Amino acid sequence: MLKIQKAIIFALLGMSSLSACSDTLNGAEVKVSQDNQKITSEVFVEDDGIPWGMAWLPSGDLLITMRDGELRMVKEGKLLEQHIQGLPEIAVKSQGGLLDVILHPDYEKNGWIYLSYSKQDANDNMSTAIMRAKLDGMRLVEQQDIYVAEAYGDRGVHFGSRLAFDNEGFLYFSIGDRGKRDINPQDITRDAGKIYRIHDDGRIPSDNPFVGQEKAKAAIYSYGHRNPQGMVKHPKTGAIWTHEHGPRGGDEVNIIGKGKNYGWPVISYGVNYSGTSFTDLTAKEGMEQPLWYWDPSIAPSGMIFVEGDKYPQWKGQLLVGSMKFGYLVMLTLDGEKVLKEEVVKDDLIRVRSISQGPDGLIYLGIDGKGIYRLKP
């Protein structure tokens, strides 16, 4: 509860000089400090689609997943007109499409690329699928679905779909509640509303928390999630951090723990989009409190820990994109505590994805604009 009290204090008293919460709550114009104003944004490549994920190849080329079902490549600073071929059939509807992309930690040895996408069944219902493939020129080969959630439905929302590898080589991925908040997130016998952990080939680790429990989905690592669209490994601790969309209010940052219940929808700091309440609880025994939350929502998407020396004032801190307000938020950390929150770059429209390139620069996927990079 102390972490939440801190979040409330910062939001209400403005102790974070550039807090997104306080600026929004007080109706104030977002202002970026002079130091951060020196960091400028420039167009890297232009595209009018939705750049959902980015992954850098050892060559320095950049793979971009476009939600409309295209896998694109940036080579020598130019977005190639030719699309990468060999993708599976992708259900592009509402929030569904081609979603995240990540390389295997030993990519240079094995060549595996991992993608998440919305998959359609014979009845035109959709679910989240995780696949891997290899790149042969401009074509994917050896395609394999390694996890397909049994969460088919006709609603095109809450696919989750962020991907991350931990230090032991396990693949983590998120699947949102698929718009069925009262059915999926709290039931470990059902997919959706979960964070999953599998081997790189799709096998289930024997030490996953629900292995051996009757009817449980053995790939589940944590549950009680709404729609996590940010996931990253902490560069020092190796822990998997996520953020997820709340309803109206209650966007959260969490550190994922084995077998833990993150509460959705039993506890929440948000309300229905209509403004009505769906729960009176913000805490309950056996359910995790968020490390940080936003109220009102910022619609977070994408996150990274800043490494290297290109942005010394940001080094070691957590950057989160906001689709709702079109800015970049930095959470200043002391271990697993958030000390303050700042808007460090604004006027970015909808920030969908964030990546730090091999050149140390930060790249932002901006809906309808393409990829921007931040120049220190």
Q: Is 199 a catalytic residue?
A: no
CA angle 299, 302, 305 (to 5 degrees): 125
Burial 37-69 (b: 16+ CB within 10 A, else e): eebebeebbebebbbbbbbbbeeeebbbbbbeb
Mark residue 348 as left, alpha or beta (left: phi above 0; alpha: psi -120 to 50; beta: remaining): alpha
| Residue entry with tokens 């989750």 | 160
DSSP state for residue 147 in the 8-state scheme: E
Structure tokens belonging to residue 13: 């008293």
SS3 readout for 161-176: CCEEECCCCCEEEEEC
* Residues 285 and 299: beta-carbon distance below 8 Å: no
| Residue entry with tokens 């069925």 | 180
DSSP state for residue 159 in the 8-state scheme: -
Q: What is the C-alpha separation between 243 and 262, in angstroms, rounded?
A: 11
Handedness of CA 260, 266, 268, 272 (dihedral sign): positive
Which one is catalytic: 83, 104, 158, 234?
A: 158
Q: What is the C-alpha separation between 41 and 354, in angstroms, rounded?
A: 13
Catalytically annotated residues: 158
